[in-house]
Chains A and B, each alone.
Chain A
Amino acid sequence: MIAFLIKRLTFGVFVLLSLSLFVFFLFFVAPGDPARVVAGDKAPEAQLQQVRENLGLDRPMPEQYLRFVTRAAQGDLGFSYRNRQPVTDLIMRRIPVTVSLVFGGVLFWLALGVPIGIISARNPGTWKDRLGQVFILLGLSFPTFVLGMLALYTLYFLPRTAGFTLFPPGGYAPFLENPAKWAWHLALPWTTLALVVAAIYARLTRGQLLQVLGEDYIRTARAKGLTERRVVYRHGMRATLTPLVTQLGADIAVLLGGVIVIEQVFGLQGVGALAVQAVQNQDRPIIIGVVMLGGLFIVTTNLIVDLLYAALDPRVR
């Protein structure tokens, strides 16, 4: 178990180092002068030189990279080129929005996807199953932003033209100030995210459960006279849990990047929106910071999934 953990941890560090090398090299060879971005378009050459010296941009690449990595390991991601604020602070200020979005989205899609999969698998070939399949196909095919825009149109704009406000047009309200308002603002983003992702879970649960319910030990459980409920939820779902956890880990891991689109549609000022603005402003330290955060998020989630995996399935250990 310890050896397994060390192996996974080493790989995680390797991933982060490769990622940092990639972004760093990318911006090092990139055209355009960061000093220009910092000092402004009309700055004289002497000032540019000063800026380069201050930022350490005149140093050779390996030295710059080494300095970046040692500082990043301590949580210091440098300063924004635009407003000189520490990148870590800028990101931390955006984290609550993104985490709220991810948290609710995950709960919603599990609550939606897994039951649909179970109902489908318990009634194969019936109209319930057909309906479940249609849901799966639509969910897999719907681009997130199309669904989000349709949701805004039908649930915000149409009621508003009719004279009442059903949902807000977007934006965010802090949880600590008013939890009800927080949930009300996030309801549409959560639902949009959940509808698109739930399809994957419905399909996975259906497929796994169908297969498991045909196994001999399920027949044994039924023969013992256990109730159908107990057979499906205790014996059947137990075997379905491992692939579900794997999928959940993979999805949560990439979600930090995946919510960019949702944040864009609903005007949420989260980490994704920060990254998009940074690209428009050519604010490289922020882009590097968000990419590294995304990588860290993926590596951590994968590690947690590996641990859960080992807890659920003794063969892995």
Chain B
Amino acid sequence: MGQFQTRSRKAATEAQTAEAEDAPVVVQRSSASLTFRRLAHDPASVIAFMFIIALVAFAVGAPLVEAWTGHGPIEQYRETALSPVGLPVGPNAEFLLGGDQLGRDVLVRIAYGARVSLLVGVLASLLAATIGVTVGMLAGYFGGWVDVVLGRLMDLVMSVPFLLCALALVSVFGPSLPLSVSVIVFFSWTTIGRVIRAETTSLVRREFVQASRSLGAGHGYILLRDILPNLALTIIIYTTMLIPNAIVFEATLSYLGMGIVPPTPSWGGMLAEAGANSIYLVAWWLVVFPGLALLASTLAFNILGDGLRDALDPSARGRAVLRKKKLTKG
């Protein structure tokens, strides 16, 4: 996949401009650009991508939502957001998505909660990808005992009861944002690590790596300049697929009271508060809106991840379907 990407692109464009005068223009596209062109033809992926952009804008613009509604994320509006008997009021003109059990504005809290979800989801996925790619590349490139040791390490991490260990860690250090991110990273780098290891193992045997080596390139050069660029698309796809899992993981930790510390708004924490004393049974908006925000976000990242994977390797899906169709007709 795309091993010619690093080939002198300059030479190609020079040759093109020379010929452009009289011949029809032939644009040389890299594998990456082809992938993204295919992706743009998949309406589901495009919608998912636009949703993610909107979500990022919503999270970044949380202070604007706060200014627009005039409600702070942790301020309690006991007069207006709670009914005389102390129950939260439903969605209305002042509180568009209703108020919560303490009289806070659900909309503003969802906006600030989006920051936590996105920050943890993206940060944890990037860190996990960095570790996974490093370990996977080293194991796949060097093979031998390095591969055995690192492979065993991945097996070990995968045989650890992660949610229970997270519980143990939280009981010692207390819940916090950095701890949530570390726990998620520690338990999710292995998935990408395995994929990268497998791909590196097959790349190492390719001619262009042998050529590079015979020209005197060192290990570091080959790993960073020859192999890494060829893994770029795989890395992007698997990192995208890590994000929804990390978002759900964070929400789960917060739901169990082991993630973000209240009153800082987080979607998981909001759902936990709604679940406490079953208050959501009389105030459906406390579950529906944060739940919908969470679901829509993970759905968008999952759709985008699937779309990216199909766009990268359109033959895998199309071929199987085609073969099957031919057979049933024949």
Contacts and interface: CB of A to CB of B under 8 A. Distances in A.
Interface of A: 11, 14-15, 18-19, 22-23, 26-27, 30-31, 124-125, 137-138, 140-146, 149-150, 152-153, 157, 169, 210-211, 213-214, 218-219, 222, 253-254, 256-258, 260-261, 264-265, 275-276, 278-280, 282, 284, 287-288, 290-291, 294-295, 297-299, 302
A26 B165 CA distance: 10
Given A142-B295, A219-B327, A149 B271 contact: yes
Contacts of B173: 30
B234 interface: no
Contacts of A19: 160
A280 B98 CA distance: 31
Nearest to A282: B171
Contacts of A22: 165
B119 to A, nearest CB: 18
Given A264-B255, A276-B256, A15 B156 contact: yes
Contacts of A14: 156
A137 B244 CA distance: 12
A150 B285 CA distance: 11
B67 interface: no
B278 A169 contact: yes
**CB-based closest 9 A-B pairs:** A294-B161, A257-B163, A214-B323, A30-B172, A146-B291, A141-B298, A141-B299, A279-B171, A124-B321
A149 B280 contact: yes
Nearest to A281: B171
B100 to A, nearest CB: 15
A145 B255 contact: yes
A290 B161 CA distance: 10
Contacts of A211: 320
A27 B156 CA distance: 20
B275 A15 contact: no
A295 to B, nearest CB: 6
Contacts of A284: 171
A275 B167 contact: yes
A125 B324 CA distance: 10
B280 A23 contact: no
Contact of A146 (B159, B170, B287, B321): B287
B51 interface: no
Contacts of A152: 281
A159 to B, nearest CB: 12
A42 B291 CA distance: 44
Interface string B280-308: 11001001000100110011001100100
Given A124-B325, A257-B161, A279-B170, A153 B281 contact: yes
A289 to B, nearest CB: 10
Interface majority SS on A: helix, strand, loop or mixed? helix
B60 to A, nearest CB: 23
A267 B158 CA distance: 29
7 contacts: A18-B156, A137-B302, A146-B271, A146-B287, A146-B295, A214-B327, A260-B167
Interface of B: 152, 155-156, 159-165, 167-173, 244, 248, 251-252, 255-258, 268, 271, 274-275, 278, 280-281, 284, 287, 291, 294-295, 298-299, 302-303, 306, 319-321, 323-325, 327
A164 B268 CA distance: 31
Nearest to B290: A146
A113 to B, nearest CB: 17
Contacts of A299: 159
Contact of B168 (A23, A142, A149, A298): A23
Contacts of B257: 276, 280
Nearest to B251: A143
Instruction: Tell me which of B278, B303, B325, B327 has the highest count of chain A C-beta atoms within 10 A of its own C-beta.
Output: B278
A265 B161 CA distance: 20
Contacts of A297: 161
A264 B291 contact: no
Contacts of B268: 143
B258 A124 contact: no
A137 B163 CA distance: 23
Contacts of A261: 252, 255-256
Given A141-B295, A145-B255, 9 more contacts: A138-B299, A140-B302, A143-B248, A143-B295, A153-B280, A214-B323, A258-B163, A295-B160, A302-B159
B324 A11 contact: no
A34 B180 CA distance: 25
Nearest to B169: A26
